[in-house]
Chains A and B, each alone.
Chain A
Amino acid sequence: GDSVTQMEGPVTLSEEAFLTINCTYTATGYPSLFWYVQYPGEGLQLLLKATKADDKGSNKGFEATYRKETTSFHLEKGSVQVSDSAVYFCALIGGSNYKLTFGKGTLLTVNP
């Protein structure tokens, strides 16, 4: 079945540092890939997505590129802020089903 493996945290960075959170996946067919973010005390919200190979999703300074050859979708940001502190989830949806498969989440803490 489909699965998502992402870098285990927690990750602690200083403000303005570079962020990478690794994500790899296993899926049949050609899945769409996503990053969701969960701020403290809130539900998840979609951060960015990519629906085909070599697509780059971007939002709020975050980027991720759909790499079919390495089955990866790593999340990056050039300069993190304290307000980026949250849990980040990599996810995929495969085929024509209605099931989103999530990774375990990575807690990011950014210190001033």
Chain B
Amino acid sequence: NAGVTQTPKFQVLKTGQSMTLQCAQDMNHEYMSWYRQDPGMGLRLIHYSVGAGITDQGEVPNGYNVSRSTTEDFPLRLLSAAPSQTSVYFCASSSKGQMNTGELFFGEGSRLTVL
């Protein structure tokens, strides 16, 4: 089972460049989300989706866009990268029932550096 797959695992960008972090899950989960992990800050929610066509903002949404055209995919777009977006990004998914009990399934992370 693939679970939650994130690509790329590593990326270096220059300030102002754009890119998309890909996230795909093969568990037919309704809920998908993006977190960023920074030293001393824990994980902070960027955006989340409770189903295809439905997205909402989390704690730190500025500078990021998302869309959910299919159940499987939830890409995270950086339109104009800034050094403050240097971080490790995690995609996580869950079924509605599991989300009610807080069980998220995480990808392995994507390390982004913005120069």
Contact = CB atoms under 8 A, between A and B. Distances in A.
Query: Is the A/B pair a real complex?
Result: yes
Interface of A: 32, 34, 41-46, 49, 51, 89, 91-93, 98-100, 102-105
Contacts of A46: 102-104
A43 B35 CA distance: 11
Nearest to A32: B102
B102 A93 contact: yes
Contact of A43 (B42, B59, B106): B106
B43 A44 contact: yes
Contacts of B92: 43-44
Chain A at the B interface: SS class: strand
Contact of B103 (A43, A49, A104): A49
B50 interface: yes
B106 A44 contact: yes
Contacts of A51: 101
Chain B interface: which size bin? 20 to 34
B31 interface: yes
A43 B102 contact: no
A89 B43 contact: yes
B107 interface: yes
Contacts of B58: 99
Contacts of B53: none
A44 B42 contact: no
A24 B41 CA distance: 16
Contacts of B101: 32, 49, 51
Given A49-B103, A93-B102, A98-B48, A43 B40 contact: no
Most central of B31, B35, B42, B109 by chain A CB within 10 Å: B42
Interface in B52-70: 58-59
B102 A89 contact: no
Contacts of B31: 98
A51 to B, nearest CB: 6
Given A51-B101, A91-B102, A102-B35, 15 more contacts: A42-B108, A43-B107, A44-B43, A44-B92, A44-B104, A49-B102, A49-B103, A89-B43, A98-B31, A98-B33, A98-B48, A98-B50, A100-B104, A102-B43, A105-B42
